[in-house]
DNA sequence: GGTAGACGTACATAT
DNA sequence: TACGTCTACC
């Protein structure tokens, strides 16, 4: 029985077993935060303090939510699927689906991701003939999201000048457009759900009665609206509020740019009269020098709740610091250090390379690639964000809701059907005139344009009819074929990859229906009845929501497999690379690294202007946020930490010269090991002298070993080197049977070789992309073992 | 009406 | 580098 509590330290134990009252847990990096949160849930359930249906736990990322469910399943024999554990967006979506009518939404509302939102805004600005020089869609997007994150509708936003008034008007027009099209953006999910709870007494009271415990992860990253939502849900100010258990770390607040408000922690403490505040300061992750560095650094921030991490682990290795002449040298040094680590037996996936912005990854990728070190880059274009996948999803969205103008506009002429800009303009005019959706406006367009448009609408209708009795994977496959997408890409020279992604989408649909418990034979567009033993659907069909919400065990599972899949695609953009699971060095931004840990961590590009980023200087609290970001980066490391900066680097196609980051002056000198004399920084002065540990490798003596001398006018990593690489490869003896690594296709094996010199070609069978002929003069191949 | 190529411009972090 | 817009030409 007490198994759950075994191996918790005193602080953790106290947190897990707190009474049913508001609590704030200040959990330092690596202090077992997730463990405390999940053990708390398990303990509450095991001791009968709450039923699985009576608690709600919310996180920010899908990854964290999944992790929580996995751990919970391993602690208790319960099915977590029906539980209210998820992200803010996921949980709000779920509530909105269950109460779509009260929320004023169509049952099958679609979710816009940031990209979709931006194009919706561009469309709006165009239709209103707004000068996009003066009112750029991006600024408008920022304005709207910012307002929504504060819980403000257009009428609530104060506009003190004409310029701002225009923004407010556009915000209002955007909301009207979304409503007409039946789409909802990320911020709207939260705001709409908040309003649902706020203005509908029956629903609010239902959830307030139902959730006796509300647990919040990463509380420091909540925005104003999320906090308000939590207060409503937890019945703040009512007779019988839920116990809110908030876990967070003010030192790790790094999302101010998307509305995170660290002040929520203080507000929570005061408003909820928190009597239980527990600090988890015992760090189980990092060696001493690493932790000292983190503590020293973060002490430079003024506004903190105050916390100091301690560890029982020894000092470990000092933090290695490298000053490179250029970004290319920095990358070469990384490669050498990583080789050493691998030689010492560290697995690649335990090594992470972190950087401030995604653009920095390329030079590093190139160096790793040339050295044949497998790597994986997080971020960038993810699976569900790819153009061809989005096209297929747009067709699927039209099956659910033909009024979705975003989806309609995306594919009405893709593949091309003779519906050009002229026809579309006529269609948009008609839609405006009759105040209807594009699909409905088709009837008003005369002539040839009208008939081509009509044919498209009939195509969609036909697809809807034909897929009525299909399962989700069948529907996806049918749509990719019948839409003409596959045929279209077959005719394109780079089309094969896109076709494979479309096939992958079918596979993803198969996996999805299995994982989500729909099963392989569930119809795509039918609401499953009795799933998870839930009986939520019939009540909804009656239109009697009160009945449904009064049943505390009812799980509002009202999504059809297709709607659920589309939702999944919007809320979880998926992974970006095929080689998951492969033992590869991990590359990502510091933001993306939050919540993760690695044996060895490289923090690169530690230069003024980059990290701290130059744009941060413009924001209030900007520098402190950068420092917290650096704190997050440092505390990712368990055993080894490496810091590097380059005096020159190619950025946006231009050579830039940087001074090393001020953060170096904020780290404890005794924990650092400079790998060579800290030379005169550009425009700055050296603070440090050589320390006792001596110099590292002398990189400056062997410029010929450095793939990037930084002398090229542009980044140009693909130019020039290709042919030289090919010669080197030819010389290095590629042979049949040889395993190779390709940047794009991943691992493969050579099955044939042909031609010589510039004509040399190899047939390679790739694990994930099938067989391909690649010209050695062009393809970048590296032998692997 | 479709399409390929040239040109200009911008670009931090992300559910 | 990557994407939107413009232009020439089919």
State residue A589's pLDDT score.
Answer: 94
A713 touches strand C (CB under 7 A): no
Band (pLDDT 50/70/90 cuts) for residue A699 is very low
* Listed range (A143-147, A378-382, A773-777) with the worst mean pLDDT: A773-777
More confidently predicted of A746 and A32: A32
> DSSP states of A322-376 as a string?
EEEEEHHHHHHHHHHHHHHHHHTT--GGGEEEEESSGGGHHHHHHHHHHTT--EE
Distance CA(A215)–CA(A238), nearest Å, equals 18
Active-site option among A59, A117, A226, A252? A252
Q: Averaged over A262-282, what is the pLDDT?
A: 94
Condensed to tens digits (0 to 9), the pLDDT of residues A452-487 reads 899 999 999 999 999 999 999 999 999 999 999 998
User: What pLDDT score does A549 carry?
Assistant: 43
pLDDT for the residue A538: 31
What does DSSP assign to residue A610? B
A324 is in an annotated binding site: no
Dist CA A243 CA A441 (whole Å): 52
Indicate which residue of A195, A218, A388, A626 is catalytic: A218
Among A33, A40, A320, A390, the active-site one is A33
Taking the CA of residue A506 and the C1' sugar atom of nucleotide C8, their distance in angstroms comes to: 40
Strands A585-589 and A375-377: what pairing?
Answer: parallel
- C-alpha pair distances (Å), A189 with each of A90, A228, A338, A608, A686: 9, 14, 43, 38, 51
A18 has pLDDT over 60: yes
Q: Which nucleotide is nearest to A718 (CA to C1')?
A: C1
* Distance between CA atoms of residues A555 and A547, nearest Å: 13
DSSP, residue by residue, A185-253: EHHHHHHHHHHHHHH-HHHHHHHHHH-SEEEESSGGG-BHHHHHHHHHHTTTTSSSPPEEEEEE-GGG-
- For residue A182, pLDDT over 60 is answered with yes
Q: Please give the Cα distance from A294 to A635 (Å, whole number).
A: 7
pLDDT at A308: 86
Under the banding of pLDDT at 50, 70 and 90, the label for residue A551 is: very low
Least confident of A372-386, A484-498, A637-651, A679-693: A679-693
Q: What pLDDT does A217 receive?
A: 96
pLDDT band at A759 (very low <50, low <70, confident <90, very high): low
Residue A133 CA, nucleotide B9 C1', distance (Å): 13
Protein residue closest to B10, using CA and C1': A652
Give me the A residues in range 636-665 that sit within 7 A (CB) of strand B.
652-653
| A33 in active site | yes
Residue A274 has pLDDT above 70, yes or no: yes
CB atoms within 10 A of CB A417: 16
* Model confidence at A625: pLDDT above 80: yes
Known binding residue A30? Answer is yes
Q: What is the pLDDT of residue A577?
A: 54
More confidently predicted of A151 and A307: A151
Tokens at residue A499, please?
């076709």
How far apart are alpha carbons A191 and A411 in whole angstroms? Answer: 29
β-sheet bridge partners, residue A747 = A741
* Any strand C atom closer than 7 Å to A362 CB: yes
Distance A125 CA to B6 C1' (A): 27
In the numeric block, which tokens belong to residue A104?
A: 């004023």
A462, exposed or middle or buried, with CB in 10 Å at 0-12, 13-18, 19+? exposed
Alpha carbon separation from A404 to A88, A172, A459, A571 (Å, rounded)? 24, 18, 16, 18
Q: What pLDDT is recorded for position A584?
A: 92
What's the Å distance between residue A320 CA and nucleotide C1 C1'?
32
Would the pLDDT of A242 be above 80?
Answer: yes
Look at A339 and A1; give whichever has higher pLDDT. Answer: A339
- Rounded percentage of chain A residues whose pLDDT exceeds 90: 57
Give, in Å, how far the C1' of C9 lies from the CA of A449. Answer: 23
Residue owning tokens 């029982």: A312
E strands of A347-453, at which residues? 351-355, 375-377
CA of A74 to C1' of B12 (A): 38
Q: Is the pLDDT of residue A690 over 60?
A: no
Q: What mean pLDDT do residues A164-183 have?
A: 92
Q: Is A469 a catalytic residue?
A: no
How far apart CA A266 and CA A604 sit, in angstroms, is: 34
Q: Average pLDDT of A131-145?
A: 88
Q: Pick the range with the lowest mean pLDDT from A114-123, A196-205, A637-646.
A: A114-123
Q: Which nucleotide comes closest to A119 if you measure CA to C1'?
A: C4
Q: Which nucleotide is nearest to A652 (CA to C1')?
A: B11
Judge if the beta carbon of A715 is closer than 7 A to nucleic acid strand C.
yes
Return the beta strands (E) in A512-630 as ranges: 585-589, 598-603
Q: Is the pLDDT of residue A422 over 60?
A: yes
Residue among A180, A176, A183 at smallest CA distance from A110:
A183
Q: From CA A113, how far away is CA A569, in angstroms rounded?
A: 9
Assigned token pair, A772: 């391909």
Residue A637 clears pLDDT 70, i.e. is over it = yes
Contact yes or no for A387/A613 (Cβ under 8 A): no
* Residue A133: predicted pLDDT: 79
Share of chain A above pLDDT 70, in %: 82
Which nucleotide is nearest, taking the CA of residue A492 and each C1'? Answer: B3
Concerning whether A34 is annotated as a catalytic residue, the answer is yes
Average pLDDT over residues A408-429: 87
Q: Judge contact between A279 and A58, C-beta under 8 A.
A: no
Between CA A371 and CA A377 the distance in angstroms is 16
Residue A714 confidence (pLDDT): 30
Nucleotide nearest to A719 (CA to C1'): C1
Q: Which of A192, A231, A403, A636 is catalytic?
A: A636
Residue pair A204/A198 in contact (Cβ under 8 Å)? The answer is yes
Q: pLDDT category, A380, cuts 50, 70, 90? A: confident
Question: What is the secondary structure of A552-580 as a DSSP string?
Answer: TT-------HHHHHHHHHHH----S-S-T
Distance (Å, whole) CA A752 – CA A763: 5
Instruction: Read off the tokens for A76.
Output: 């208790």
Mean pLDDT of chain A: 84
Question: φ, ψ for residue A20 (rounded to 5)?
Answer: -80, 65
* A27 marked as part of a ligand binding site: yes
Q: How many other CB atoms are found less than 10 A from the CB of residue A693?
A: 12
Q: What is the pLDDT of residue A661?
A: 95
Give the relative orientation of helices A622-634 and A288-298 as an angle to the nearest 10 degrees: 170
A410: its two tokens:
């995306």
**The nucleotide closest to A387 (CA, C1' atoms):** C3
Measure A487 CA to C4 C1' (Å). 26
Contact criterion met (CB below 8 Å) for A115 and A387 = no
Q: Which of A586, A680, A598 is nearest to A632 (CA)?
A: A598
Chain C bases under 7 Å from protein CB?
1
Distance CA(A426)–CA(A410), nearest Å, equals 16
A137 sits within 7 Å of strand C by its CB: no
Write out the two tokens for A638. 């368990």
Residue A413 Cβ under 7 A from any strand B atom: yes
Question: Has A217 been annotated as catalytic?
Answer: yes
- What is the distance in angstroms measured between the alpha-carbon CA of A420 and the sugar C1' of C8? 18
Report the protein residue whose CA lies nearest the C1' of nucleotide B11. A652
Residue A770 pLDDT level (bands cut at 50, 70, 90): low
Which of the following is catalytic: A195, A217, A249, A330?
Answer: A217
Write a three-state SS string for A706-756: CCCCCCCCCCCCCCCHHHHHHHHHHHCCCCCCCEEEECCCEEEEEEEEECC
What is the pLDDT at residue A491?
Answer: 79
Which nt is closest to the CA of A63, judged by C1'? B15
State the DSSP code for A679: P
Between A300 and A542, the more confident residue is: A300
The alpha-helical segments, DSSP class H, found in A595-678 are 622-634
Window from A55-59, A623-627, A677-681 with minimum mean pLDDT: A677-681
What is the pLDDT confidence band of residue A498, given thresholds at 50, 70 and 90?
confident
Q: CA A163 → C1' B7, Å?
A: 32
- Average the pLDDT over A206-230 and give the result: 96
CB A642, CB A600: distance < 8 Å = yes
Task: Please give the pLDDT value at position A433.
Answer: 87
SS3 category, A606: coil
Cα-based distances in Å from A465 to A453, A525, A742: 19, 11, 43
Q: Which residues is A225 bridged to in the sheet?
A: none
A662, two tokens: 């001020």
Q: Is A57 annotated as a binding residue?
A: no
The closest alpha carbon to A639, from A291, A280, A355, belongs to A291
d(CA A223, CA A311): 32
Q: Which nucleotides of B are covered by protein (CB under 7 A)?
A: 1-3, 10-15
pLDDT at A533 exceeding the cut of 80? no
pLDDT of residue A754: 65
Q: Where do we find the tokens 């900007």? A: A622
Q: Do A604 and A360 form a contact (C-beta atoms < 8 A)?
A: yes
pLDDT digits (tens, 9 = 90+) for A388-399: 899 999 999 999
The answer to whether the beta carbon of residue A718 comes closer than 7 angstroms to any atom of strand C is yes
Whether the CB of A130 is less than 7 Å away from nucleic strand C comes out as: no
- The C-alpha atoms of residue A678 and residue A324 are separated, in whole angstroms, by 10
- Predicted confidence (pLDDT) per residue in A569-598, tens digit: 988 876 655 455 678 999 999 999 999 999
């Amino acid at each position: 029985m007490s198994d759950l509590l075994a191996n918790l330290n005193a602080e953790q134990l106290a947190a897990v077993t707190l009474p049913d009252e508001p609590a704030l847990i200040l959990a330092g990096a690596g202090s077992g935060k997730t463990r405390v949160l999940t053990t708390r849930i398990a303990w509450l359930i095991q001791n009968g303090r709450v039923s699985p249906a009576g608690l709600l736990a919310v996180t920010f990322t899908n990854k964290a939510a999944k992790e929580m469910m996995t751990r919970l399943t391993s602690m208790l024999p319960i099915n977590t699927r029906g539980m209210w554990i998820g992200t803010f967006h996921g949980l709000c979506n779920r509530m909105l689906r269950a109460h779509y009518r009260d929320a004023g939404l169509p049952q099958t509302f679609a979710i816009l991701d940031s990209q979709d939102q931006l194009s919706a805004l561009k469309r709006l600005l165009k239709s209103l003939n707004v000068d996009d020089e003066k009112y750029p869609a991006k600024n408008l997007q920022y304005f709207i999201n910012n307002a929504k994150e504060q819980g403000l509708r257009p009428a609530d936003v104060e506009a003190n000048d004409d310029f701002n008034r225009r923004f407010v008007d556009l915000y209002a027009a955007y909301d009207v457009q979304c409503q007409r099209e039946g789409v909802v953006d990320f911020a709207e999910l939260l705001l709409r759900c908040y309003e649902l709870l706020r203005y509908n007494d029956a629903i609010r009271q239902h959830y307030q009665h139902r959730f006796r415990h509300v647990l919040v992860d990463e509380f420091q990253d909540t925005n104003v609206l999320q906090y308000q939502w939590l207060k409503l849900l937890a019945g703040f100010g009512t007779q019988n509020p839920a116990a809110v258990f908030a876990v967070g770390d003010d030192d790790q607040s790094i999302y101010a740019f998307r509305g995170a408000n660290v002040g929520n922690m203080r507000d929570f403490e005061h408003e909820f009269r928190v009597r239980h505040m527990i600090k988890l300061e015992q760090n189980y992750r990092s060696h001493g020098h690493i932790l000292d560095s983190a503590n020293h650094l973060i002490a430079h921030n003024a506004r903190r709740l105050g916390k100091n991490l301690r560890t029982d682990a020894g000092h470990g290795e000092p933090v290695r610091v490298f000053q490179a002449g250029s970004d290319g040298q920095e990358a070469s040094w990384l490669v050498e250090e990583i080789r050493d680590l691998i030689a010492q037996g560290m697995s690649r996936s335990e090594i992470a390379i972190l950087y401030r912005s995604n653009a920095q990854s390329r030079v590093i990728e190139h160096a790793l690639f040339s050295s044949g070190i497998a790597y994986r880059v997080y971020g960038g274009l993810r699976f569900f964000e790819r153009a061809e996948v989005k096209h297929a999803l747009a067709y699927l969205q039209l099956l659910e809701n033909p009024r979705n103008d975003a989806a309609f506009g995306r594919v009405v002429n893709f593949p091309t059907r003779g519906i050009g800009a002229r026809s579309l303009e006529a269609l948009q005019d008609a839609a405006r005139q009759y105040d209807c959706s594009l699909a409905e406006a088709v009837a008003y367009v005369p002539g040839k344009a009208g008939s081509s448009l009509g044919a498209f609408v009939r195509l969609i209708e036909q697809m809807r009819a034909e897929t009525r009795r299909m399962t989700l994977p069948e529907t996806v496959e049918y749509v990719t074929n019948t839409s003409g997408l596959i045929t279209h890409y077959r005719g394109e020279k780079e089309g094969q990859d896109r076709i494979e992604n479309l096939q992958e989408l079918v596979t993803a649909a198969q996996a999805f229906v299995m994982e989500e418990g729909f099963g392989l034979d569930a119809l795509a567009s039918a609401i499953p009845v009795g799933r998870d033993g839930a009986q939520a659907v019939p009540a909804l069909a009656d239109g009697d929501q009160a009945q449904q919400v009064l049943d505390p065990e009812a799980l509002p599972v009202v999504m059809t497999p297709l709607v659920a899949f589309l939702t999944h695609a919007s809320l979880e953009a998926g992974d970006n690379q095929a080689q998951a699971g492969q033992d590869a060095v991990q590359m990502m931004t510091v933001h993306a690294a939050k919540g993760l840990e690695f044996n060895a961590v490289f923090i690169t590009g530690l230069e003024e202007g980059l990290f701290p980023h130059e744009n941060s200087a413009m924001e209030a609290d900007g520098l402190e946020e950068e420092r917290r970001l650096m704190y997050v980066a440092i505390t990712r490391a368990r055993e080894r930490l490496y810091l590097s900066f380059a005096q020159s680097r190619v950025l946006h196609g231009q050579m830039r010269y940087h001074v090393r980051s001020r953060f170096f002056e904020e780290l404890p000198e005794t924990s650092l090991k400079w790998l060579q004399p800290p030379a005169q920084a550009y425009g700055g002065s050296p603070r440090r002298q050589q320390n006792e540990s001596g110099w590292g490798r002398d990189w400056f003596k062997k410029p010929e070993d450095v793939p990037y001398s930084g002398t090229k006018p542009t980044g140009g990593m693909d130019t020039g080197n290709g042919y030289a690489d090919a010669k080197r490869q030819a010389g290095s003896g590629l042979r049949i049977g040889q395993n190779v690594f390709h940047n794009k296709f991943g691992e493969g094996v050579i099955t044939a070789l042909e031609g010589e010199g510039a004509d040399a070609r190899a047939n390679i069978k790739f694990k994930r992309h099938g067989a391909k002929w690649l010209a050695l003069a062009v393809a970048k191949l590296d032998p692997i073992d």
